[in-house]
Chain A
Amino acid sequence: MEAAISGAECEGLIARARRGDQRAWRELFERDRERIYRVAYRVLLDREEALDTVQETFLKAFQNLHRLSDDAGWFAWLRTIAVNRAMDRSRRRGRLLRWLGRPVDEQELHCISDPSGTGSARSVAEVSELGQALHAALERLSPRQRAVASLYFEEGLSAVEVACALGLRLGTVKTQLFRARQRIQRHLEAFRPLEELL
């Protein structure tokens, strides 16, 4: 899942990008943009903000490419930038609403930034009932819990890898994961009994 091209090819791309080869930049962008977008979207639950985050993530990565010590860890590094920026954005969004004197509700935050509720470019039919239930559950989680859950369940990282990616202690990740799992499962059960699904 990590990369569609070989590690050596990826390292070659990064070496070229580091020398300022714009075509290499482009290849890296085209290769990883979708996954970075997906990770950012899971944290933000907002299409436009997620696309902004993709833009910022690649910009920051290209500007700081000289700091990447291990070229093989390119995607993990990129993903960490994306998750951190997405969490920052999410916090800023919360602060904005608090500053405006309104109660912070994740669902409300989502509705403000994405009035359609499911993303402007997505039809309702594209998302199943189960998918909608997950989306509703994610809205009830904190940005950090969403990040942890997304990396663990969707990206397939282990708890240790999630801890490394987010710079958290393993115990914290496990706690966040436990709470996120509980909340998500509660929501999924409410929308669709487990017995029916399995």
Chain B
Amino acid sequence: MKEKNSELLKQAWKEAPPPSVLPGEWETIWSRLVGSPNRLPVSRSPRRWLQAAAFAVVFLAGVGFGLWGGWLVRPAVGPSSSSVEQPTILEGGSQIPGKGTATLAALSSTSIPEGIDIEMLGLRDVRMEAVEEPGQEGRRYRMTAFTPRGIKIVWNYPADEPETHSLNGGQS
């Protein structure tokens, strides 16, 4: 009886062959073996593809979220270099014409105590351009700069009534 059962078992194995494999599928496996001898070949099973796709989606979502978060918390000061013409940087507050006016303009919007000089205001991106006005004697300049808090201040030199502009276009 034991022998008969063993025979039955062997017969059952013969009658349950694995699913057949097409020649083209063997070729695909061979080409992967030859094409990538030093690394694991690409998997054929759908689950692997799903895992790879899921990883790609999570990775891209992470990158996107990071970029979005970075955009949200970007420093809210100063213009980007691409949106403003290259300014003429004047180093040293003493060399900036009309600095008294600029101090006044800055005080009006940044609540800095009176008496603080322009060097201490930390003005940056100071720009100076000549203004041609008919009938006006001498050269006049239009000065622009940004306070540390991103307030754009504009004044004329020689001294004029100061005006300030915030970065988002507001005016005070």
Contacts and interface: CB of A to CB of B under 8 A. Distances in A.
Interface in A180-198: 181, 184-185, 188, 194, 197-198
A139 to B, nearest CB: 12
B17 interface: yes
Interface string A122-146: 1000111011111100000000000
Interface in B1-48: 4-5, 7-13, 15-22, 25-26, 29-30, 32-34, 36-38, 40-41, 43-48
A55 B19 contact: no
A107 interface: no
A121 B20 contact: yes
Interface in A35-51: 37-38, 41-42, 46-51
B18 A48 contact: no
A119 B16 CA distance: 11
Interface stretch (A57-65, A69-77, A157-165, A166-174): A57-65
A175 interface: no
A55 B8 contact: no
A62 B37 contact: yes
Contacts of B26: 30, 33
Contact of B4 (A55, A127, A198): A198
A5 B9 CA distance: 28
Interface of B: 4-5, 7-13, 15-22, 25-26, 29-30, 32-34, 36-38, 40-41, 43-48
**Which A-B residue pairs are the 8 nearest by beta carbons?**
A119-B19, A131-B16, A131-B15, A41-B18, A122-B19, A134-B12, A128-B15, A48-B45
